[in-house]
A and B are shown apart, each in its own frame.
Chain A
Amino acid sequence: GDSVTQMEGPVTLSEEAFLTINCTYTATGYPSLFWYVQYPGEGLQLLLKATKADDKGSNKGFEATYRKETTSFHLEKGSVQVSDSAVYFCALSDLNNAGNNRKLIWGLGTSLAVNP
């Protein structure tokens, strides 16, 4: 079945460091890919998405490119801030349940802590 694998955390960086969080997937067909962010004590928020190969999603300085050849959707940011401290989840849209039944397949999340 479809699956998502994320790099394990926690990841600890200093402010202004470069961030990469790896995400790889296994899926049949051409799923859509998502990154969600969860700040402490809150629900998940969509950070960015890509719906087809070579698409780049971007938001708030974060970017991820849908790479079909490597089945990857790595999250990157050039200069992290303390306010980026959160848990980041990679997810794909389960194409085996099309239309109204469509579900998301989730990675386990990667915790990021940014120190001043």
Chain B
Amino acid sequence: NAGVTQTPKFQVLKTGQSMTLQCAQDMNHNSMYWYRQDPGMGLRLIYYSASEGTTDKGEVPNGYNVSRLNKREFSLRLESAAPSQTSVYFCASRESKGNQPQHFGDGTRLSIL
């Protein structure tokens, strides 16, 4: 009963380092999302993928890239990490038909020094 799995759970980086956050879902969902959560700012959408092979920018895409590797996996890459990217990152997925809810992973807590 895995649902949405994110790895790693915690990571500390130095400014300028690169890193890829992994996300996989086992619910056969078409749509997947990456959010960041910062105190007082709620959830902000970074990128999303409506279906395998497509990706689109959300509210705060600068400094990030994504890859929809297949239907299960949607990765988020920081090419050159900056302290402003210190945050908790959440991946989510949903069944694309109708008004289905999004299902979330447990998050990746990322600190950039």
Q: Which of A32-58 contact B (CB under 8 A)?
A: 32, 34, 41-46, 49, 51
B42 near A42 with CB under 8 A, answer: no
Q: In terms of DSSP, what is the predominant structure of the interface of chain A?
A: mixed
Residues of B contacting A32 in the complex (Cβ-Cβ under 8 angstroms) = 99
Whole-angstrom distance from the CB of B105 to the nearest CB of chain A?
5
A103–B94 Cα gap in the complex (Å)? Answer: 10
Chain B, interface size category, equals 20 to 34
Q: In the docked arrangement, what's the CA distance between A39 and B102, Å?
A: 16
Contact assessment for A103 and B48 in the assembled complex, using a CB-CB cutoff below 8 Å: yes
Q: Is B74 an interface residue (CB 8 A)?
A: no
Nearest A residue to B40, CB-CB: A108
CB-CB under 8 A from A41, the residues of chain B are 106
Q: Is the CB of A89 within 8 A of B50?
A: no
B31 within 8 A of A: yes
Interface presence of B20 (CB below 8 A): no
Q: Which of B20-77 contact A (CB under 8 A)?
A: 30-31, 33, 40-43, 45, 48, 50-51, 56, 58
Known: A32-B99, A100-B96. A43 touches B104 (CB 8 A): yes
**A interface vs B, CB < 8 Å?**
32, 34, 41-46, 49, 51, 89, 93, 99-104, 106-109
Q: Give me the 5 closest cross-chain CB pairs, A-B, nearest first.
A: A43-B104, A100-B50, A32-B99, A108-B42, A100-B96
